[in-house]
Amino acid sequence: MKHTPEPSTADLDFFFDEGHHAIAEKAAHFASKWAFDDQRDEDEATLKAVSELTDAGLTQYCVPERFGGAAIGRPDGLDTRALTLIRESLGWSDALLDTAFAMQGLGSYPITLAGTTDQKETYLPAVLSGRSLGAFALTEPNAGSDVASMSCLAEASGDSYIINGQKTYISNAGIAGQYVLFAKTAPDQGRRGMSAFIIEPNDPGLSVDRFEVIAPHPIGTLIFDNCRIPKNRLLGQEGDGFKIAMGTLDVFRTTVAGAAIGMAQRALDEGLHRALERTQFGKPIFEQQQIMAYLADSATDLTAARLLVFRAAYRRDLSTDRVSAEVAMGKLFATESAQRIIDRAVQIFGGLGVTRGVTVERLYREIRALRIYEGTSEIQKVVIGAHLRKLAASTD
């Protein structure tokens, strides 16, 4: 069985530059050395992951070159292919490791996009050095896909903002060095009334309620009870929040699909090894036609997902056109097909596949959230449908 992830640069050369091959090799080498521990403390493991990712030179791809990050792609922006390749290998290894990496980008890129010089100088070096963990606080108990319906309020009061409300399903809750918060400053203006802020963990009026999910990592609810922050923590201008959130998600939505590809590849590796190793009725179960069909379907799903995802990443990096539909297709197909691939691997393992501590059982829990966060599969279909309607209208 393979003990190292095989990144997509191996056979999709037409999507990549020379620099991407070196990044992919670095990420694959790192992922192969990471030791998964089923008994770990989630906070300690996340802090360790960020520290080691930083030492390996991988988190530098979460910050643009102009602000101290890696010299690849556009100086003012992030290279989507690099981020997606890194998450492909990290997803193959461990979902907590992948999340730790992703949050360094997701929790800092809004500052890159809209921060003042002082804000960038204050927060980005700490992200680059691994001294500070990032967090992205958008989702609310009653506002998920429909972010414009959020109820968290930020009201101006002298030289401060007073914030009230909740954000939930926030990765790195309780251990982040800064949270990028999205709240309403003009509640009657829908998405135009959203603004973005930087929250620090010791701000008065902020508390954290942690909870557990099926693939454990630090996650919880942020509760704002008359939380007071200085006005210089506003990102951009009032009303820029929706634009900042979507600008961030446009980059990182593709990388979620990269993590799904990595998980799917790991499941296929495990399933193939098990099918060749396990003997039933006097021969390896691989020889059974249905098992061979499972593996053939999984290999085909994975190949199709990789093509869709890296097409989206390629166009995101090199095109000035909107690529929302391509990104939506990549995330939709990669996450849904990864669920199918992992499910087949569990089936190949039989009873062992639902035993705690077995890799495919862990993958089964890890993949489920990727079909929900950063845009559910249903929302991706809405995006694709809107694109088709626009195409139809343009040909009338």
- Residues assigned a catalytic role: 374
Three-class SS state of 71:
coil
What is the distance between the alpha carbons of residues 240 and 34, in angstroms, rounded to a whole number?
39
What is the distance between the alpha carbons of residues 29 and 334, in angstroms, rounded to a whole number?
23
Token pair recorded at residue 193: 């009334």
Pair 270, 346: CB distance under 8 Å: no
Token pair recorded at residue 9: 């640069």
What is the distance between the alpha carbons of residues 144 and 378, in angstroms, rounded to a whole number?
12
Three-class SS state of 264:
helix
Token pair recorded at residue 161: 């903002």
H-type helices in the chain, by residue range? Answer: 18-33, 42-55, 80-93, 95-106, 109-114, 117-129, 241-277, 289-318, 324-349, 359-367, 377-395
What is the residue type of 144?
G
Residue 263's contacts (CB-CB under 8 Å, 6 or more residues apart) are: 91, 92, 95, 338, 342, 363, 366, 367, 370
What is the distance between the alpha carbons of residues 251 and 271, in angstroms, rounded to a whole number?
32
Q: What is the CA radius of gyration of the chain?
A: 21
3-state helix, strand, coil in the chain (%, to 5): 60, 15, 25
What is the distance between the alpha carbons of residues 43 and 178, in angstroms, rounded to a whole number?
16
Residue whose entry in the numeric block shows the structure tokens 């929900």? 372
What is the distance between the alpha carbons of residues 47 and 51, in angstroms, rounded to a whole number?
6
Closest CA to 311 of 254, 273, 368, 362: 254
Q: Is 226 left (phi over 0), alpha (psi -120 to 50) or beta?
A: left
